[in-house]
Amino acid sequence: MSFLSESVAVITGAGSGMGRCLAQQLAAMGASLALSDVNEKGLAETVALLGGARGKVTQRRVDVGDAASVKAFAEEVEAQHGRASVVFNNAGVALLGNFEELSLEDFRWLMDVNFWGVIHGVHFFLPLLKKEKRAHIVNTSSLLGFVGAIGQSAYCASKFAVRGFTESLQHELAGTNICVTTVHPGFVRTSIANQARLGQNAGEGLRQQSLNRFHRITRTSPEVAAAKILRAVEQRRPRVLIGPDAYFVEILQRLRPTGYWPILARQFEDPSAKKN
C-alpha cells in the first residue's frame, strides 16, 4: 500500500481543473477524500465523477479566503474522517489588468484566495497533520511564482508569496512527520482563464486577448499535472515543476534574473492583437 492510497486527502478547488483530477486519481488509488470548492455545482460534478470510490468521500462549500469557512471545514474533516494526512491547497483565481487598472478590492480579493487561502489551509489543518505518522502539505504556486509579468502584478504577488511561505515552512518542518511541497504549474488547460476577473478599470477587450494567449500557449492537461503532483508527494519532493513552460521559465530566471522579460514577452504576445 502506498502513502496516498491509505491517506485522507483534503483538496481545495476540487470543483474543476487540477483539483478535480487530483480527486479522481486519488479515488482510483483508494484514498478517502475531503473535497471543497466555492462552486457547489462544480464540486457536485466532481463527486459524481468519482463513481464507486473505495474510500470515503465528503464535500463542502468552502471560501478559502474566509478563515471561519476553512476552520469549519477542518472541523468537519476531523468529525467525518477522524484524520487528515495530506492537504492540497489548490484553489486559485486570476485577475486581468495592469496595476493601475486594478482596484484595491480587486487586489484583496485575489490575495484572499491565492495567498490567504493557503495560509488558512495550513493553519487549520496542521494540528490534524501533526497527529499522523506521515503527512504532507502541497501548496500551489505557479511559473509566475518565479517571474513577474506585465498585467499580472496581483497574481504574481500571490504566487511569489505562496512560494516564499512554503519554502520557509519546509525549513521549519524539516525533520518532522510533515513533508511540504511547492507546485509550480505552467499553463495548464483549466478553467482559470475563462473565470478570470477583469480589473475594475481594465478594458473588456483584455479578456479576449488573455483567452487567446492562454489557449495558444497552453500545452499541459490537468490529468498530467495531477499525476506529476501525486508522484512528487509519494517521492517527498520539495518542489515540482509542471510543463515544459515551467521548466523554461525557472531556468531563464536563474540565467537572467533581471533580464528575462524581453524573452518572455515574445512568448506571451498575442499575434492577433498586432493586427488590430
The 3-state secondary structure of 189-241, one letter per residue: CCCCCCCCEECCCCCCHHHHHHHHHHHHHCCECHHHHHHHHHHHHHCCCCEEE
Q: How far is Cα 93 from Cα 114, in angstroms, rounded to an integer?
A: 7
Is position 155 annotated as part of the catalytic site? yes
User: Cα–Cα distances in Å, from 86 out to 104, 193, 234?
Assistant: 34, 27, 11
Active-site choice (3, 73, 155, 165): 155
For residue 138, give the nearest of 2, 15, 19, 5 by alpha carbon. Answer: 19
CA distance 29 to 41: 25
Q: Which three cell numbers stand for residue 57?
A: 468521500
**Pairing relation of β-strands 32-37 and 8-11?**
parallel
Q: Which residues are catalytic?
A: 155
